[in-house]
Structure 1
Amino acid sequence: MNYILFDEPTIRTALLPFTFTRPVADIRIGIWTITEKWQQWLQKPVSHLTEGYLQTKFPAIYTEAETIYINGAACPSRAFLATLETLTPETALLLPDQTVLAVRTSKRLDKAPVATDFAPVEVGPDTPVMIREMPDIFALNGDQIRVDFAKLTDGRQSAPITDPFTRVYGGNSIFVEEGAVIRAATLNAENGPIYIGRNATISEGTIMIGPFALCHDATVNWGGKMRSNTTIGPFCKVGGEVGNSVFFGYSNKAHDGFLGNSVIGEWCNLGANVNNSNLKNDYGPVKLHSYATGQLEDTKRLFCGLMMGDYTKAGISTMFNTGTVVGVNVNVFGAGFQPKHIPSFTWGGAAEGFSPYRLDKALHVARESVGRRNIPFNDTEEAVLRAIYSVVSGER
């Protein structure tokens, strides 16, 4: 069987700006991205059916075998996989609202499957966990850390924690990969597991509370206060106080400052003393910018912080209000709380005013950011950003 993860159009729009630069399934939640979860559960490669301008980087791979197309917002589980195995050819597994969860077909699809094109099958009681809106990424993160931790560590032995000055609570729920360095830290896994990836570094004075995932080659700087339900993606560098948040990868928040109930894309940088609000003073529900309606929509959540797209930079002491959405490749700085939505390819701040970010300058900064990690910024990456620039030009 061939497996392809597809972007359901309504969900993809709800997850912008993160899905400007990746398929839905390449969002990180828990320890792995959804793509990585499926590869682990299926023990075979999967590919993506996504927007045309992303297909060069994330191609759909077709074979002679039948294909199961899976909604890229759905996380795998034993029950969901068992349901997929019962699908017969040319059927669609549907949620009660008619959202397509999966399709089994011999047809080669070039866009997301439509429910009416296949024989319907109701999903039943074992509905999979799905991310359908941006706050789901942090809200469901703790549970997904637990699921991924159990899958990733099953039958494996953790590397030992040998540092004599590190204090451990709930040691049976801590897993350390080879090459990780831990010095004079406090790790508390009594209320949830802690996963430390290969070659990760936990510096002196760090306090870390599970559920927590520090992915491979990531670093927590000195005195970091890492609160529960948080994932720090590969090659990230974080410091200060971080709680119930997800960093996708290759992003930095190296200095003091608070980040809570937030999601940070790849190749972002938060300068010293950047802070965000995650709770309104009147304890009311947080409103968040919607790319579907172009206005603020009620999340019905008490806590919601900063949603930041890829390649975005925030200058020192930048303040983000409760429920702020910042697009792709934004350079934001200056005094005062920033507006609750800053469109992609924007330069400036609340006090100074905003202007369009010149494409040549934005590409130069992106190229420099990636190059500092000794990773090539190739024509494919540039083409993706150029396509996004064209899409969002009318947004400003």
Structure 2
Amino acid sequence: MNFILYDGIEWKKLFPITLTRPVSEIRLGLFTIKERWEKYIGKNVESIITQPFLSKKFSKKESLFFENILLINSAFLPNEELIQILFSLKENETIFFKEKMIAIKKNFFLGKENIHSLFLKKCKKTYHVNKIIHIQYPSDIFINNETVIKKDFLFFTNGKKSSSLLGNNHVICRDKIFLEEDIKANNVVLNAEHGPIYIEKGVEIMEGSVIRGPVAIGKHTTLNMGAKIYGATTIATFCKIGGEIFNSVIFSYSNKVHDGFLGNSILGEWCNLGAGTNISNLRNDYQKVTVWDYEKKDFSHTNLQFFGLIMGDHSKSSINTQFNTATIVGVSDNIFGYGFPPRYIPSFFLGGIQKKKRIPFNKVCETAEIMMNRRNVNFSLLDRKILEYLYQLLDI
């Protein structure tokens, strides 16, 4: 049996994080959603059905005909109950959570077929799951990260042996800390009393750093001297991190090198926060926040009190930038200037509170290429085409 992950209606609700990726490439806990599904099912995903402008980079498979297939909505995270039902499905049987379809089994499927039309067809049998994590909005990523880190830790470390940590370090609750090989750390504190800590290979933790779980740190990431990492935080691969971080998710190749606070936030890939950048995650009057809604093109009320910054891929802030509570930053922005920037900044803009201007597209690509080359990563033609497609749209 093969399986396909597809983007449902959640893709648009997860802007700006999904402007440059399918829902399945969102990271929380120890893995991306795609990686997590592959680990639970025990085989690689057959294909990813997403927006046409993203397909060439992320789908991998050019064939449009699939046999013996499970179609799974990427916005749902796997659990034991769901996996058990999935493997028992027969042709044209479905799984629902409340009124939303999680998966359907098909003997054959044409990739160009409209998945949403499957909702209208009568199914042979429908199963329901009672409890599942559903990622519908960017804030769902940091809201659920504690639960997901703990669950991932138990699932992925079961039966595996942690490496030893060399050096003069203070370790609390060693049994809830898992270390891969080649980790450099000396005079640091690892405290797993309130949640597990998972650190991948090649991570360097400089002296004076304190990590308080639940926390997951990806391979070849560097924590600078005196970094303070609170749970529930995920830092992906090849990041450079410093300062104070609380309940946030940082995607691969992004930097928050210097002092400054980041809380209840998400940074996409290839982001950089300048020295002294701070993010407010709580209003002074303690009221619930409003957040920019890309579909309504206006701010919408939420039931959230703690909400920091959501930043799309390739965006940057200059030194001493101060982001207000619940700020949304698009893709490839360059933010600088006095005062608080607006709480919504569309993609490809230069500036801050003062008059902004659109960055020329060739400059967008030049900056991306320089930053990626510094990490020995190629700025590919596919990367360029994705940014070019987005650049041609207005107000994203």
TM-score normalised to structure 2 length? 0.96
Residue equivalent to 1:203: 206
The answer to which of 116-125 and 297-306 deviates more is: 116-125
Task: For residues 12-60 of structure 1, give each alpha carbon's deviation from its aligned partner in whole angstroms, at most 9, with x where no partner exists.
Answer: 1110011111000100010100001011111211131000000000116
Tell whether the 8 Å contact from 1:226 to 1:241 is kept in structure 2 after alignment: yes
Residue 395 (structure 1) shift: 1.2
Alignment of 1:14-25 (within 5 A): 14-25=13-24
Residue equivalent to 1:124: 128
Alignment of 1:226-265 (within 5 A): 226-265=229-268
Question: RMSD of aligned C-alpha atoms?
Answer: 1.4
Go from structure 1 to structure 2 and tell me whether the alpha carbon gap of 1:307 and 1:120 turns closer, same or farther (over 3 Å shift).
farther
Tell whether the 8 Å contact from 1:94 to 1:120 is kept in structure 2 after alignment: no
Task: For residues 55-97 of structure 1, give each alpha carbon's deviation from its aligned partner in whole angstroms, at most 9, with x where no partner exists.
Answer: 0001164565311110101111111111112322123322322
The answer to which of 268-277 and 100-109 deviates more is: 100-109
Q: What is the aligned counterpart of 1:134 among 131, 138, 153? A: 138
Are residue 326 (structure 1) and residue 311 (structure 2) matched? Answer: no
1: distance between equivalents of 2:139 and 2:349? 23
Tell whether the 8 Å contact from 1:7 to 1:112 is kept in structure 2 after alignment: no
Tell whether the 8 Å contact from 2:205 to 2:224 is kept in structure 1 after alignment: yes
2: distance between equivalents of 1:238 and 1:380? 28
Alignment of 1:41-120 (within 5 A): 41-46=40-45, 47-59=47-59, 61=61, 65-97=67-99, 99-105=100-106, 106-110=108-112, 111-114=114-117, 115-119=119-123
Q: How many residues align?
A: 390
Tell whether the 8 Å contact from 1:94 to 1:121 is kept in structure 2 after alignment: no
2: distance between equivalents of 1:332 and 1:59? 32
SS in 2 for 1:57: helix
2: distance between equivalents of 1:120 and 1:34? 28
Tell whether the 8 Å contact from 1:169 to 1:189 is kept in structure 2 after alignment: yes
Are residue 292 (structure 1) and residue 295 (structure 2) matched? Answer: yes
Are residue 267 (structure 1) and residue 270 (structure 2) matched? Answer: yes
Are residue 33 (structure 1) and residue 37 (structure 2) matched? Answer: no
1: distance between equivalents of 2:206 and 2:289? 34
The answer to which of 327-336 and 119-128 deviates more is: 119-128
2: distance between equivalents of 1:230 and 1:177? 18
Tell whether the 8 Å contact from 2:6 to 2:74 is kept in structure 1 after alignment: yes
The AA in structure 1 aligned to 2:319 is I
2: distance between equivalents of 1:177 and 1:41? 21
Residue 183 (structure 1) shift: 1.4
Residue equivalent to 2:7: 7
Are residue 152 (structure 1) and residue 156 (structure 2) matched? Answer: yes
Q: What is the aligned counterpart of 1:357 among 356, 359, 367? A: 359
Structure 2 unmatched ranges of 5 or more: none
Q: What is the aligned counterpart of 1:310 among 299, 309, 313? A: 313
The AA in structure 1 aligned to 2:26 is I
Tell whether the 8 Å contact from 1:244 to 1:261 is kept in structure 2 after alignment: yes
Tell whether the 8 Å contact from 2:290 to 2:301 is kept in structure 1 after alignment: yes
Tell whether the 8 Å contact from 1:4 to 1:68 is kept in structure 2 after alignment: yes
The answer to which of 104-113 and 300-309 deviates more is: 104-113
The answer to which of 352-361 and 268-277 deviates more is: 352-361
1: distance between equivalents of 2:116 and 2:206? 47
Go from structure 1 to structure 2 and tell me whether the alpha carbon gap of 1:112 and 1:346 turns closer, same or farther (over 3 Å shift).
farther
SS in 2 for 1:92: strand
SS in 1 for 2:28: coil
Residue 120 (structure 1) shift: 6.7
Residue 103 (structure 1) shift: 1.4
2: distance between equivalents of 1:188 and 1:87? 43
SS in 1 for 2:115: coil
SS in 2 for 1:296: strand
Structure 1 unmatched ranges of 5 or more: none
SS in 1 for 2:226: coil
Task: For residues 255-276 of structure 1, give each alpha carbon's deviation from its aligned partner in whole angstroms, at most 9, with x where no partner exists.
Answer: 0000000000000000000001
Residue equivalent to 1:193: 196
SS in 1 for 2:208: coil
Residue 117 (structure 1) shift: 2.7
Tell whether the 8 Å contact from 1:280 to 1:286 is kept in structure 2 after alignment: yes
SS in 2 for 1:366: helix
Residue 373 (structure 1) shift: 0.4
Residue 163 (structure 1) shift: 1.1
The AA in structure 1 aligned to 2:348 is F
SS in 2 for 1:37: helix
Task: For residues 289-322 of structure 1, give each alpha carbon's deviation from its aligned partner in whole angstroms, at most 9, with x where no partner exists.
Answer: 1112111112201100000000001000011110
Q: What is the aligned counterpart of 1:345 among 344, 348, 354? A: 348
Residue 382 (structure 1) shift: 0.6
Q: What is the aligned counterpart of 2:377 among 375, 378, 390? A: 375
The AA in structure 2 aligned to 1:314 is S
2: distance between equivalents of 1:125 and 1:395? 38
Tell whether the 8 Å contact from 2:228 to 2:244 is kept in structure 1 after alignment: yes
